[in-house]
Amino acid sequence: MTARNVSLTDRLDTFVEQQVSTGRHQSASEVVREALRRYEADLTAEAACIEMIRGIAHAGRDAIARGDFAVIDSDDARQALFRRITGKAAVKLSEVG
């Protein structure tokens, strides 16, 4: 295992010490490794979300190119689209709550 020397802010140093003192982790290194694993997992999930959004955007561009879209420029048009998608009448926002 590679040894690293890292600098922490006072706040982060206190957090690391608290994690060790509660027994959740046995050492500061364990706390840092856990934080890095979580950070890595977050980056992986973020990349997956970005790819999903890109796919949705690509599908949207393709639909527009095919002419497969609806212009929603009024409340009536919004309600008609909602009815077409769900088979139900749309509720006006003023009626909610």
Give pLDDT tens digits for 16-66. Answer: 999 999 999 999 999 999 999 999 999 999 999 999 999 999 999 999 999
- Sequence-distant (≥ 6) Cβ neighbours of residue 17 within 8 angstroms: 28
Q: Which three-class secondary structure state does DSSP give residue 95? A: helix
**What is the reported pTM?**
0.60
CA distances (Å), origin 34, targets 3, 31, 37, 69: 16, 5, 5, 46
Locate the domains of the chain by residue range: 8-66, 69-97
pLDDT at 95 over 80: no
Tokens 């600098």 belong to: 7
DSSP-derived secondary structure letter, 23:
T
- On whether the CB atoms of residues 63 and 53 are closer than 8 A, the answer is no
